[in-house]
Amino acid sequence: MGSEYLYTDPEVPKLDHPDAAIRLASVVHRFGVPKMSSNRKVSFAKSFKTVGQHPKTRKLVLNADDFRKRLQEACDAKKISSERVTADARRYIPLIHNILVSCKVQPENARLDEKLLFEWMSGVEEDPKAFVSEAIMYDLTMAIACEGLGRAAAATENSVGGQFAAASRDYAAAAGIMEFLHKEHLPKWVSKGANVLPEKLPSECHISATRAFQTLFMANGQQMAVATVLMKPGKPNYSLLGKLCYGIMEMLEDFTAAVRKEATVAKERMDKDFFVLMAFQTSIQLALSLYFQAQAAWENMDHGVAIALMSEATVALRTREAIYSAGLPDITKTPALTPLKKDLQDFRKHCNEILHIWEKDNSSVYFAAVPQSLSAEKKLKEGIRMNKLEPYKLEEADPALLVLPEGALERSDSDLARELQKKLNAGGD
C-alpha cells in the first residue's frame, strides 16, 4: 500500500473541485443530423442526360448520385455515426457545388430532362417536417448542415468519453460552418430573390437560426476548454476559470435571446425540454463561475469576499421556486436531466462543506468581514469569450460543360409556345 493512503482521513472534505464539477461544466445537448426523404428519388444523371453528355460532366453527375446516396444512408442509419455523416457530407459537397456552379455560368444550357426535387428534414427540430425545393442551393445548404451538425455530434460523443480537447475542436468546426451559412452562403440565396421563407424550409436554412447556433457551438466549445483544464492534475487557475464560465453563461444567454427574438420559427419547432436544458446550463455556468471566483479569492487571502461568493454559489445551485426566478430548473421534471441528479447533489454538498470550513476558519483565524452583498468592483462585469471557431469555405469549383444539342432549343421554344397557347385557351394567367 502506498504511503499516500496511510494518513488519509475520509472524514476531511476534499477542498479541490470534485469530478461532479467537471461533468456539470461539460453538459451539452446532442442534436441529430438532417435527413433526406426516402420517398424522393433524385438522379442527376437522368436530369442532365441531354446536356451532360461530355465525359467529365457525365462522371460528375454519376459521382454526385453515388455520394448523395451514401450521405442519405449515413443520415438515415439506425445508429448515427457522426464520423460517417461528416465524411460522406464532405465527399458530396464539392460535387453538388460543382453542379450548382455549372448551371449558374451556363443558364441557357441548364435544361433538365427530369425535374430535380430535393426533400430534407431538419436535424435540430423535435418533429421535423419534410420540405421540398427545386433549388440546387437547397441541397447544397443541407449537405453543409450535415457536415456542421455531424461535427457537433462528434463533439458530444467525445465529451461523453472525456476527450474534451477533441470535443472543443469539433465544436470550433461546427461553429465555423454555422458562421459560413449565415454570413456568406444563405445571404447569397436570399439576394437571388428565391423563395426562402423560414416557414417553407428547415431551420438549417434560416439565417437567424444558424447565427444563433454559431453562438451556441462556441459556448459548447468553451465548456470543453474548461473541462480540459479541470481534468489536468494540480490546482487550476481559478480566477481564469471563473471568467471563462461567466463568458459561457453570457453566450448561452445570447443564444436563447436570439432564438426567442429572431429565430421564432425555428424555436417553435424545437423540443421544449431543450430550453429547460439551456436554462439549466446557463444557471450551472453562473454557479461554477461564482465557485471558481470564491476559490480564487480564498487563495488571494480575501477571505470575506471568498465566503460571500461561495454563499452566492450555493444559492445559485438551489432549485428555483418559479420559472423566472433565480436558480436551477427542477431537473426531476425533465427526463433528459435526471441523470445529472447525483452530480448536482455532490456538487451542492461540496460547496456547502467548503463554505462551512471557511466560515469556521474565518471565525477563529482570519476574522475578515463578510460582506452582505458584494460591491461592484468585486463582481465580474463580463466574462472571457474565446469565440473559438474554425473558418469554413467552399473550394472553388471548375464548371462542368453543359452542351445543348443542335435543335433542342427550337423544340424547347415551340413546346413553351404550345403551353402558353393552352393557358390562353383555358383562361390561365
- Judged against a pLDDT cut of 90, whether residue 311 lies above it is answered with yes
Please say if the pLDDT value at position 255 is more than 60.
yes
Which candidate, 21, 15, 29, places its Cα nearest to that of 287?
21
* Per-residue pLDDT tens over the stretch 136-166: 999 999 999 999 999 999 999 999 999 999 9
**Cα three-residue angle 157-274-79, rounded to 5 degrees:** 35
Residue 180 contacts residue 389 (beta carbons within 8 Å)? no
Nearest to residue 141, comparing CAs of 91, 88, 96, 173? Answer: 96
Identify the pLDDT of residue 7. 39
Q: Is 198 helix (H, G, I), strand (E, B) or coil?
A: helix
Give pLDDT tens digits for 201-231. 999 999 999 999 999 999 999 999 999 999 9
Q: Which residue has the higher pLDDT, 291 or 9?
A: 291
Nearest Cα neighbor of 13 from 309, 344, 274, 354 is 354
Q: Cβ contacts of residue 50 below 8 Å, gap of 6+?
A: 111, 113, 404, 405, 408
At residue 42, the 3 state secondary structure works out as coil
Round to whole Å and give the CA distance between 25 and 28: 9
In 3D, which of 214, 220, 282 has the Cα closest to residue 250? Answer: 282
Instruction: Tell if the pTM clears 0.85, that is, is over it.
Output: yes
* DSSP strands (E only) in 236-338: none
Query: Of 266, 180, 169, which is closest to residue 218 (Cα–Cα)?
Result: 169
Task: Give, for 312, the enclosing helix (H) or strand (E).
Answer: helix 303-316
Instruction: Give the position of cell 451556363.
Output: 106
Contact 203, 239 (CB under 8 A): no
Average pLDDT value for the chain = 92
